[in-house]
Amino acid sequence: MKINAALVNPFVEAGIKVIKELTNIDVRRGHLSIQEKPVPTYEVSIIIGIYGHLTGQVVYSMKKQVAVRLVQKILGEVNNQQLKEMFVDTLGEMANMITGNATALLSAKKDYMLKITTPAIVTGNQISVNLVPNPTVVLGMYTTYGPIEINIALEEAASTESGGPKKPSAGKPGGG
């Protein structure tokens, strides 16, 4: 699989912009690699589905300590109970903002609307989650608090006219 910069760059741009705006910390682009499917590296993962002219998932992954520090920075002065109560919602909203910004950029280029699902947040070391088995671009971002990894597993929707057969989308409704 070759890396499609047109799919990756909106996530780089949106990720840096949103995290900087929410936290006022330094964020920079890191490594870029390819995997057979999304495999989150760290114990906190936020999963968002994308559908429209592109289909698939984006998985944000970070260490728990990075997630906690980001949430603390976003929420400001909160006690431990408030942090616990708002942790998942805050992470979900951050990922939602990044994905929403990125899909708006992707939609503008194609003049089609992309839609996103509600974020699912998974935490822990021994978690098993079935993710789409699509080739994945893994984008690393480095923050003042530590790394964040974005797994981008998107493909053109089967209904798009692209001149060739599409790989079946196993694991998604109606995909086989």
- 31 falls within a domain: yes
- 110 falls within a domain: yes
- Looking at residue 159, its pLDDT comes to 59
- 146 falls within a domain: yes
- Looking at residue 133, its pLDDT comes to 75
- pLDDT tens track, the chain, 176 positions: 556 777 888 999 999 999 999 999 999 999 888 888 888 889 999 999 999 888 899 999 999 999 999 999 999 988 989 988 899 999 999 999 999 999 998 887 666 788 999 999 988 876 667 777 788 889 999 999 999 999 999 888 775 444 433 332 323 333 33
- Looking at residue 108, its pLDDT comes to 79
Find the CATH number of the domain harbouring 146.
Answer: 3.40.1550.10
- 171 falls within a domain: no
User: How many domains is the chain partitioned into structurally?
Assistant: 1
**CA–CA separation, 51 and 134 (whole Å):** 14
- 55 falls within a domain: yes
- 10 falls within a domain: yes
- Looking at residue 37, its pLDDT comes to 85
- 69 falls within a domain: yes
User: Facing residues of 138 across strands?
Assistant: 33, 151
Q: Which domain holds residue 56?
A: 5-155
- Looking at residue 65, its pLDDT comes to 95
